[in-house]
């Protein structure tokens, strides 16, 4: 068998190594690239297998003539393997998009020519024939067949050069290594037919490509060396296919932003690594996954094991941890996601784990019996699904809540609100579907649709607007809307389209926007302010806003948060705080609006402070925007507004 036997043995070792890694490690097993890699691997195994079989036949019979069919099969399989190399390279360079038919046909021509020549060689002796000594001898087309093989690694190199800017360094290195190896081995075999290196070159190419298609480091987080969320989904999918019962232990580090602010990013990163190491040690597994920035997960296969691990982890996190020479108590917590047999897909389980992480981040405890949590998750998922449909189909209703002028004793404004009603779940609380719209990235789209409806309504009811005495309309804006590059211009275009004066609108932004995103949103605010629109700080007093926050942006109105009012009528310190807030707002020449006025006692209190406007159920509830003027007229005609003004 000579030197070829040594290369076959080396090829078998290489392919066995790749097989073991691919089988016993968790890898991505979907997509065109993986399928092409799998096809290349199988073809190369067949090439090496046929080579070994050929050698055994030659040794057993003592003549090369009997191995001629094996030689033909090996040559055809080598052509297929090199063609698959090019297909894999093209997929890596051009992505998972559709491949044009003419490209497939054009690149298949060398393979077809080589395969036809090889098969016909039994009749024409064109590629190889049996010489007088009984050994296979290269024919006149032998070099041509190998040139057809060489075409494919050369094309791989050309692809790598042409698409070098689109490839990762790892991908480019794999293509170059594989292509050069195969090309060198094909050329050497072409020059010396008795040293058959192409099979070895293909095996080395498979190993090189494996670095790209199934690298052990492909799905590993660089900070913690844990696997990432993609690997987690793949692992769960494998378990579901095997019908294994399992639970997922979750570890989350809460208040990571605070750690960054107090300790700096390096120590915050070290805290994340501490959580990852704790998961590895307590879970007794290397299969730990970083599913979110400060959250990890791993799989257990019994409730007893899940209970042991979570108790051990929570006991560990109750103790101070060493971070950079300091002893720090981490706000980390562990819990178990159980009852996962209720889900049918890995994506559902991944989303449920993410749902539980949100609950842990909010400070909630996760019970062992999670039927209630699973129902909440399913409700949230249905709300997400229906909200997307409602936004696309215009099913989110526009409501309006009138605001009462305490100085003039009449309704002077109304705030635009969104309402969503589900055909089965009923009315969805605004906080729930607004938060969902923000998390799903649909809040800006929802805002555009709603604002367009408001402008249309104002244009179609201009006479009623003037007769009602409404002088402003308040519209809520999210930070995402304000940070869109063309938001202000788009809003002005909608107003112009419907012939609505920009000065009619007061845009409400929360104190969180002004304290965290003041710089990012000031461009949009400036554009709308110059057009005549006004701005109102919403929910003042609910967070960390102060006088600087009010003065940093051109607010003309400040709405005092309803929680302050609810407390003000219950205790003297809270009352004193509310009075000082109202005085501060008025002292800056700004109009104050009292939110959440629901009782006569609260109404009397805010009236005594000289606050300009009040909003709440005591004065008016939200109504469909088409009914707002009728509601105002009805309340004014029956004298209820006069009673509330006194």
Q: Please write the tens of the pLDDT for every residue from 568-587.
A: 989 999 999 999 999 988 88
Q: CA-to-CA distance for 555 and 508, rounded, in angstroms?
A: 9
DSSP secondary structure letters along 18-49 = HHHHHHHS-----SHHHHHHHHHHHHHHHHHH
pLDDT of residue 26: 45
pLDDT of residue 643: 55
Which element (helix H / strand E) includes 337?
A: strand 332-337
Which element (helix H / strand E) includes 646?
A: none
DSSP code of residue 251: E
Asked whether residue 644 carries a pLDDT value surpassing 50, the answer given is yes
Nearest to 577 by CA among 548, 542, 607: 542
pLDDT of residue 554: 82
Phi-psi region of 363 (alpha: psi -120 to 50; beta: other; left: phi over 0): left
**Where do the domains of the chain lie, and which CATH numbers do they carry?**
3-213 (1.20.1070), 227-369 (3.30.70.270), 383-635 (3.20.20.450)
Pick the most confident of 67-76, 146-155, 352-361, 539-548.
Answer: 352-361
What's 356-399 look like in SS3? Answer: HHHHHHCCCCCCCCCHHHHHHHHHHHHHHHHHHHHHHHCCCEEE
User: What's the token pair of residue 217?
Assistant: 């480091």
DSSP code of residue 471: -
As a whole number, mean pLDDT of residues 279-299 equals 88
- Each as own residue / partner, the long-range contacts of residues 141-146 (CB below 8 Å, 24 or more positions apart, any chain) are 141/117, 142/190, 142/193, 143/190, 144/113, 144/114, 144/117, 145/75, 145/79, 145/114, 145/117, 145/118, 146/186, 146/187, 146/189, 146/190
Nearest to 366 by CA among 321, 455, 306: 306
Task: Please state whether beta strands 613-614 and 591-594 pair in parallel, antiparallel, or not at all (unpaired).
Answer: parallel
pLDDT of residue 296: 95
Taking CA atoms, 2 is separated from 58, 67, 130, 263, 444, in Å, by: 11, 15, 19, 66, 71
Nearest to 88 by CA among 154, 39, 26, 42: 39
40 confidence band (pLDDT: 50, 70, 90)? confident
Lowest pLDDT segment from 181-190, 413-422, 633-642: 633-642
Asked whether residue 55 carries a pLDDT value surpassing 90, the answer given is no
Burial class (CB in 10 A: 0-12, 13-18, 19+), 157: middle
28 confidence band (pLDDT: 50, 70, 90)? very low
Per-residue pLDDT tens digits for 98-126? 667 777 788 888 888 988 888 887 777 78
Asked whether residue 222 carries a pLDDT value surpassing 60, the answer given is yes
- Helices assigned H by DSSP within 441-517: 443-460, 462-468, 479-483, 487-498, 511-516
DSSP code of residue 228: E
Angle at the Cα of 64 from the Cα atoms of 58 and 68, rounded to 5 degrees:
105
Cβ pair 372, 428 in contact under 8 A: no
Nearest to 565 by CA among 607, 527, 504: 607
Torsion of CA 12, 15, 17, 23, to 10 degrees: -130
Per-residue pLDDT tens digits for 433-479? 998 898 888 999 999 999 999 999 999 999 999 888 899 999 998 88
- Helices assigned H by DSSP within 597-639: 600-608, 628-637
**Count of alpha carbons within 13 angstroms of residue 502, beta-carbon side:** 18
Cβ pair 343, 349 in contact under 8 A: yes
What is the value of pTM for the model shown? 0.65
Cβ pair 581, 540 in contact under 8 A: yes
193 confidence band (pLDDT: 50, 70, 90)? confident
131 confidence band (pLDDT: 50, 70, 90)? low
Burial class (CB in 10 A: 0-12, 13-18, 19+), 307: middle
Give, to the nearest 10 degrees, the angle between helix 68-94 and helix 101-124. Answer: 170
Taking CA atoms, 323 is separated from 251, 269, 277, in Å, by: 18, 10, 13
Cβ pair 614, 406 in contact under 8 A: yes
Burial class (CB in 10 A: 0-12, 13-18, 19+), 86: buried
Per-residue pLDDT tens digits for 332-343? 999 999 888 889
Which element (helix H / strand E) includes 289?
A: strand 289-292
Taking CA atoms, 333 is separated from 224, 288, 372, 523, in Å, by: 18, 16, 20, 41
Q: CA-to-CA distance for 63 and 51, rounded, in angstroms?
A: 15
Asked whether residue 531 carries a pLDDT value surpassing 80, the answer given is yes
User: What's the token pair of residue 174?
Assistant: 């794999």
């Amino acid at each position: 068998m000579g030197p070829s036997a040594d290369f076959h043995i080396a090829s078998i070792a290489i392919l066995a190594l790749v097989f073991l890694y691919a089988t016993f490690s968790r890898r991505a097993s979907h997509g065109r690239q993986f399928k092409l890699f799998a096809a290349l691997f199988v073809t190369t195994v067949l090439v090496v297998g046929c080579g070994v079989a050929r050698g055994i036949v030659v040794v057993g019979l003592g003549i090369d003539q009997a191995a001629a069919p094996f030689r033909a099969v090996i040559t055809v399989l080598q052509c297929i393997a090199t063609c698959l190399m090019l297909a894999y390279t093209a997929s890596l360079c051009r992505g998972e998009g559709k491949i044009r038919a003419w490209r497939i046909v054009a690149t298949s021509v060398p393979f077809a020519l080589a395969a036809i020549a090889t098969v016909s060689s039994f009749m024409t002796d064109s590629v190889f024939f049996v010489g007088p000594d009984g050994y296979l001898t290269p024919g006149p087309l032998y070099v041509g067949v190998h040139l057809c093989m060489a075409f494919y690694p050369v094309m791989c190199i050309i692809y790598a050069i042409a698409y070098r800017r689109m490839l990762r360094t790892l991908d480019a290195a794999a293509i170059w290594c594989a292509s050069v190896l195969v090309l060198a081995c094909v050329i050497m075999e072409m020059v010396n037919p008795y040293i058959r290196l192409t099979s070895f070159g293909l095996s080395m190419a498979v190993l090189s490509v494996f670095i790209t298609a199934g690298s052990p480091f492909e799905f590993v987080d660089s900070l913690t060396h844990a696997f990432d969320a993609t690997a987690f989904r793949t692992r769960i999918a494998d378990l579901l296919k095997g019908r294994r019962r399992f639970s997922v232990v979750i570890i989350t580090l809460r208040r990571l932003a605070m750690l960054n602010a107090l300790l700096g990013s390096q120590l915050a990163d070290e805290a994340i690594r501490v959580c990852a190491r704790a998961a590895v040690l307590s879970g007794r597994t290397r299969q730990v996954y970083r599913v979110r920035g400060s959250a990890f997960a791993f799989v257990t296969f019994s409730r007893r094991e899940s209970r042991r691990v979570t108790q051990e982890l929570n006991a560990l996190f109750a103790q101070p941890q060493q971070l950079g020479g300091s002893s720090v108590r981490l706000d980390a917590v562990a819990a178990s996601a159980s009852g996962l047999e209720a889900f049918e897909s890995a994506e559902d389980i991944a989303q449920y784990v993410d749902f539980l992480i949100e609950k842990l981040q909010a400070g909630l405890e996760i019970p062992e019996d999670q039927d209630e949590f699973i129902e909440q998750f399913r409700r949230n998922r249905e709300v997400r699904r229906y909200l997307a449909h409602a936004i696309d189909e215009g099913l989110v209703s526009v409501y309006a809540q009138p605001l009462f002028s305490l100085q003039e004793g009449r309704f002077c404004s109304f705030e635009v609100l969104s309402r969503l009603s589900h055909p089965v779940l009923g009315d969805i609380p605004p906080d729930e579907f607004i938060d969902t719209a923000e998390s799903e990235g649909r809040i800006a789209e929802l805002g555009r649709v709603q604002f367009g409806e408001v402008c249309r309504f104002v244009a179609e009811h201009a006479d009623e607007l003037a007769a009602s005495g409404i002088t402003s309309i308040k519209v809520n804006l999210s930070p995402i809307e304000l940070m869109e590059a063309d938001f202000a211009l788009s809003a002005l275009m909608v107003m112009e389209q419907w012939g609505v004066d920009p000065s009619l609108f007061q845009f409400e932004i929360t104190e969180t926007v002004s304290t965290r995103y003041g710089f990012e949103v000031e461009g949009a605010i400036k554009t709308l302010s110059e057009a005549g629109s006004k701005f109102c700080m919403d929910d003042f007093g609910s967070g960390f806003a102060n006088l600087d926050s009010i003065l940093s942006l051109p607010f003309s109105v400040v709405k005092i948060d309803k929680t302050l009012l609810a407390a003000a009528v219950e205790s003297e310190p809270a009352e004193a705080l509310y009075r000082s807030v109202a005085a501060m707002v008025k002292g800056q020449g700004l109009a104050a609006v009292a939110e959440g006025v629901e009782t006569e006692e609260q109404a009397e209190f805010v009236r005594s402070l000289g606050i300009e406007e009040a909003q709440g159920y005591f004065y008016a509830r939200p109504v469909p925007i088409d009914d707002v003027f009728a509601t105002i007229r009805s309340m004014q005609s029956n004298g209820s507004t006069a009673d509330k003004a006194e």
